[in-house]
């Protein structure tokens, strides 16, 4: 695991987008794992601009999203399918059939979870998985006490997650209480993980995830086990870390990051 600290949210989002673009240019048939949430909106906006202005080509790319709410169809404006279409898919040249999210309206949710795992496996696995982090340390919807070897499954949402996400719905009662999510083990199978976190509200949980013990209570801490995981932070999100001087040295001196400086 490596942590990269950028001065502000904009530079953190820009670096994240540049990493994705570099991976896509190196492998046009990239299998890309995607995340939702307000943190990712600027990343997707930058990628769309790269497509428009620089010809970044998504035509061979395949995507798999981390999660989807149970009970919401892709036409629902609060579904993650709708979010992805609005913020990214409709703005780039990706083939609609190459964009995958779990079906939250499936009659057999257990079978849908197995189908999603199988589809990821048949694609050759995820090359680069983009991640955010919840206030309680979850990745995807792997809420506290999620098994570190878990696979795609239906997960009940904690009251804290419901409170945080209810603002996107007309009334709090409209907020689903369950979601289909990739498991922690599914995420760890990705060849590379890139987590983006910004803002002072994420500082405490970032410190627990990066420098604390590996625990099922903070599913993001399992990323410490991943052989190639990059955590991109702005200054505010890094405020709780102890080794910030070391993390800054890595970005300023390691050859891997020269092209991004």
Helix 38-54 to helix 80-87 angle (10° resolution) is 40
**pLDDT, tens digit (0-9, with 9 covering 90-100), for 32-54:** 999 999 999 999 999 999 999 99
Question: What are 99's strand-pairing partners?
Answer: 63
Domain of 225, CATH number, reads: 3.40.50.1360
Is 138 one of the catalytic residues? yes
pLDDT given for residue 172 in this prediction:
86
Residue of 2, 45, 57, 136 marked catalytic: 136
Residue of 68, 117, 127, 143 marked catalytic: 143
Helical H runs in the chain?
Answer: 9-26, 38-54, 80-87, 109-122, 159-165, 184-188, 203-211, 244-253
**pLDDT, tens digit (0-9, with 9 covering 90-100), for 76-117:** 999 999 999 999 999 999 999 999 999 999 999 999 999 999
Is 67 one of the catalytic residues? yes
Is 136 one of the catalytic residues? yes
pLDDT given for residue 192 in this prediction:
98
CA–CA separation, 31 and 191 (whole Å): 10
**pLDDT, tens digit (0-9, with 9 covering 90-100), for 140-183:** 999 999 999 999 999 999 999 999 999 999 998 999 999 999 99
Kindly tell me if the per-residue pLDDT of 240 is higher than 90. yes
CA–CA separation, 261 and 257 (whole Å): 7
Is 143 one of the catalytic residues? yes
Structural domain count, the chain = 1
Take residue 199 and report the two structure tokens written for it. 């803002």
Kindly give, in sequence order, each residue whose CB lies less than 8 Å from that of residue 208, ignoring residues fewer than 6 positions away. Answer: 137, 218, 221
CA–CA separation, 121 and 47 (whole Å): 26
- Say what the pTM is: 0.97
* Parallel, antiparallel or unpaired: strands 153-156 and 178-181: antiparallel
How far out from the chain centre does Cα 206 lie? 15
C-alpha triplet 222, 84, 62: angle, nearest 5°: 70
Residue of 87, 100, 138, 226 marked catalytic: 138
The mean pLDDT of the chain is 97
Residue 154's domain spans which residues? 2-260
């Amino acid at each position: 695991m490596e942590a990269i600290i950028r001065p502000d949210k904009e530079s953190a989002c820009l670096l994240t987008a540049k990493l994705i673009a570099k991976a896509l240019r190196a492998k046009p048939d990239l299998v890309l794992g995607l995340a939702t949430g307000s943190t990712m909106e600027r990343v997707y906006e930058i990628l769309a601009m790269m497509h428009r202005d620089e010809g970044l080509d998504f035509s061979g790319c395949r995507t798999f999203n981390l999660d989807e709410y149970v009970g919401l169809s892709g036409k629902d404006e609060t579904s993650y399918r709708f979010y992805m279409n609005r913020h990214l898919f409709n703005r780039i040249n990706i083939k609609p059939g190459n964009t995958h999210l779990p079906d939250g309206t499936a009659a057999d949710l257990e079978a849908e979870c197995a189908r999603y795992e199988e589809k990821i496996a048949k694609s050759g696995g995820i090359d680069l998985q983009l991640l955010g982090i919840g206030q309680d340390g979850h990745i995807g919807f792997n809420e506290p006490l999620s098994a570190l070897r878990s696979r795609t499954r239906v997960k009940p949402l904690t009251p804290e997650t419901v409170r945080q996400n209810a603002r996107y719905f007309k009334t709090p009662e409209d907020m689903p209480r369950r979601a289909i999510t990739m498991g922690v083990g599914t995420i760890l199978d990705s060849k590379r993980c890139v987590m983006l976190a910004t803002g002072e509200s994420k500082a405490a949980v970032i410190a627990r995830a990066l420098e604390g013990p590996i625990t099922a209570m903070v599913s993001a801490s399992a990323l410490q086990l991943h052989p190639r995981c990059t955590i991109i932070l702005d200054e505010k999100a890094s405020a709780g870390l102890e080794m910030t001087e070391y993390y800054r040295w890595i970005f300023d001196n390691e050859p891997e990051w020269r092209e991004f400086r």
